[in-house]
Amino acid sequence: EYYPYGDPRNPYYAWKASEDHVGFVLNRTMITPPGTTFNYNTGASHLLSAIIQRATNMSTVDFANQYLFGSLAFE
């Protein structure tokens, strides 16, 4: 069931309090089929960060600076 941000039943608050953020995300049940609705998902962003860290042995910030932002030549 969907609960908007700010509603204490929104799973964000349980995710934030969880000691295992990745496990919490992976154990969630989808409420709609993939690709049918958009809803921002903090847990999915965190999951991507954990995957990058594990796969590259780099922090997400270091990975982004080296492979994503470095070629943009920000000063």
* Rounded Cα gap, residues 32 and 64, in angstroms: 31
pTM of this prediction exceeds 0.85: no
Q: What is the pLDDT of residues 60-69, one digit of tens each?
A: 999 999 988 8
* Rounded Cα gap, residues 35 and 62, in angstroms: 30
Question: 53 falls in which pLDDT band (50, 70, 90)?
Answer: very high
Torsion of CA 34, 38, 42, 48, to 10 degrees: 50
Every domain of the chain and the residues it spans: 11-72
| pLDDT value at residue 75 | 66
